């Protein structure tokens, strides 16, 4: 499975434009700037998180060593351990950083109405396609920790609960304001929307990008509006 993810990551990277984002899959190292000790420390931490994100997505958590992350980041093993004493600490930091980025993407709505967030979900698939490393990382890590009771498993469960609640609240708001039908079941709609997003994400990875998350989510949200609109 990791070989499929790795092939997809490099295929996606090859299709992108020349401008690189911090999460690109290429081997380029982060150049640590001169400056104060504090600024150098922040730069090292950022370099480690970027390297860990790439390696965890390509090889999984269990297939990645702290030594390989340190080498990828261009720092010493001791330098890595100063910021992240254990591999679990590093993993949780990587996941939290990815969550902040996705939360920021979802927060870019024109107003605070529930309908605005639902409409925003139509373009969320395109956001995920723009960051193939983070997308593969999510799928890899959630699958690796599906059966255990680790801190990572709890983190993913809580994140799904939070995401479902956020989407359900959006449907509740749209229904209560008369934008969607009174028959709308917010809980069910939230579960379905996240299930579609997750299914598209996995198919996108396994197909090497041939299945479009962007198109799939846009069409799904359109179908939701058509099904639930007030008649």
- Report pLDDT for 219: 98
**Closest by Cα among 59, 55, 106 to 80:** 55
Give me the sign of the Cα torsion angle 64, 160, 107, 184.
positive
- Token pair for 198: 């997750």
Of 103 and 128, the structure prediction assigns the larger pLDDT to 128
- Report pLDDT for 16: 47
**Closest by Cα among 137, 130, 142 to 209:** 130
- Report pLDDT for 109: 64
**DSSP secondary structure code for residue 180 in this structure:** B
Where residue 198 falls among pLDDT bands split at 50, 70, 90?
very high
**Closest by Cα among 129, 138, 134 to 15:** 129
- Report pLDDT for 110: 60
- Domain segments of the chain as ranges: 2-228
Q: What percent of the chain has pLDDT over 70?
A: 79
- Report pLDDT for 101: 76
- Whole-structure pTM value: 0.71
Where residue 24 falls among pLDDT bands split at 50, 70, 90?
very low
Pick the CATH number of 2-228 from 3.90.550.10, 1.10.357.10, 3.10.105.10, 3.30.70.100: 1.10.357.10
Task: For residue 170, give Cα distances in angstroms to 10, 64, 125.
Answer: 36, 38, 18
| C-alpha span between 2 and 113 (Å, rounded) | 40
């Amino acid at each position: 499975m990791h070989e499929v993810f790795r092939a997809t990551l490099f295929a996606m990277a090859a299709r992108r434009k020349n401008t690189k984002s911090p999460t690109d899959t290429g081997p380029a190292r982060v150049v640590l700037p001169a400056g104060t000790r504090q600024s150098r420390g922040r730069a090292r931490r950022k370099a480690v998180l970027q390297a860990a994100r790439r390696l965890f997505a390509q090889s999984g958590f269990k297939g990645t060593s702290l030594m390989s992350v340190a080498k990828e980041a261009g720092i010493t093993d001791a330098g890595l351990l100063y910021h992240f004493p254990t591999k679990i600490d590093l993993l949780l930091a990587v996941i939290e950083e990815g969550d902040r980025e996705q939360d920021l993407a979802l927060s870019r709505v024109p107003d605070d109405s529930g309908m605005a967030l639902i409409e925003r979900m139509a373009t969320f698939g395109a956001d995920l396609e723009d960051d193939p490393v983070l997308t593969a990382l999510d799928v890899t890590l959630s699958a690796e920790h599906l059966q255990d009771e680790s801190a990572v498993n709890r983190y993913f469960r809580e994140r799904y609960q939070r995401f479902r609640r956020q989407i359900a609240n959006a449907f509740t708001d749209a229904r209560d304001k008369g934008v969607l039908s009174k028959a709308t079941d917010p809980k069910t709609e939230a579960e379905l929307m996240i299930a579609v997003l997750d299914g598209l994400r996995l198919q996108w990875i396994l197909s090497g990008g041939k299945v479009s998350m962007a198109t799939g989510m846009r069409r799904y949200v359109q179908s939701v509006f058509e099904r639930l609109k007030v008649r």
